[in-house]
Structure 1
């Protein structure tokens, strides 16, 4: 059985705004520190974040509700992708984001789990603090 990361985080903003940050190049780059970002808003389209350190393909996009990506770190072996899923739900006027990441290379879990927190959740939380 492969390991998986499961995280739940709440944001003080509606799901549509969180979805917009995660799927819009300019908003994502602004939210996460300004590194070059190119995110397709079409299922099947490519994305590249943090100046190319993270890349992949949009698998499923349901505005305001769900994002599924074939996701990889640029330093992984060629052709190696994992699956990430962001589920967004309205909660008390904000958003509950339920996040799952599976299929990443062995030994990467701890690094990836802390990276999601530091590079995604904390910067997005700061936007709406």
Structure 2
């Protein structure tokens, strides 16, 4: 079982479009099928996605470049947060998203690794399509 998740995904869109889809409440909700979503556009602000199943706080927001979040699943033990880091790198007319997730409960690793693809990358690909 891994204690870190590292994924790299290429999207056929600019870093700015990817950043907006991941940080704009309305776009994120549309992208993920309409579940209630609230994402603060400011560093230090909170977020709640998938109807409150995913919660956290934005640690660093650099538009079109980087998103760093204290990220948790609602049913994790109280006070347990992981760090999710989304790095956006322009490649021609595409974006390489370099994703690192650390500090999550060890037993959750396999589930989380699959979940990023199923709940974030695949819907994002379709949304920007």
- Normalised by the length of structure 2, the TM-score is 0.97
**What pairs with 1:28-39 in structure 2 (closer than 5 Å)?**
28-39=28-39
Q: Secondary structure at the match of 2:78?
A: coil
2:109 is aligned with 1:106: no
Q: Which structure 1 segments of 5+ residues have no match?
A: none
Q: Which structure 2 segments of 5+ residues have no match?
A: none
2:67 is aligned with 1:67: yes
2:50 is aligned with 1:50: yes
Q: Could you give the per-residue CA deviations for residues 15-41 of structure 1, whole angstroms, max 9, x where no partner exists?
A: 000000111000000011110000001
* C-alpha RMSD of matched pairs (Å): 0.9
Structure 2 Cα separation of the partners of residues 128 and 43 of structure 1: 25
Q: Secondary structure at the match of 1:126?
A: helix
**What pairs with 1:78-89 in structure 2 (closer than 5 Å)?**
78-89=78-89
Structure 1 Cα separation of the partners of residues 62 and 20 of structure 2: 11
Return the offset for 1:107: 0.8
- Normalised by the length of structure 1, the TM-score is 0.97
Number of residue pairs the alignment of both structures matches: 128
**What pairs with 1:7-46 in structure 2 (closer than 5 Å)?**
7-46=7-46
Return the offset for 1:106: 1.5
Structure 2 Cα separation of the partners of residues 74 and 4 of structure 1: 20
Runs of 4+ in 1 over 6 A off after TM superposition: none
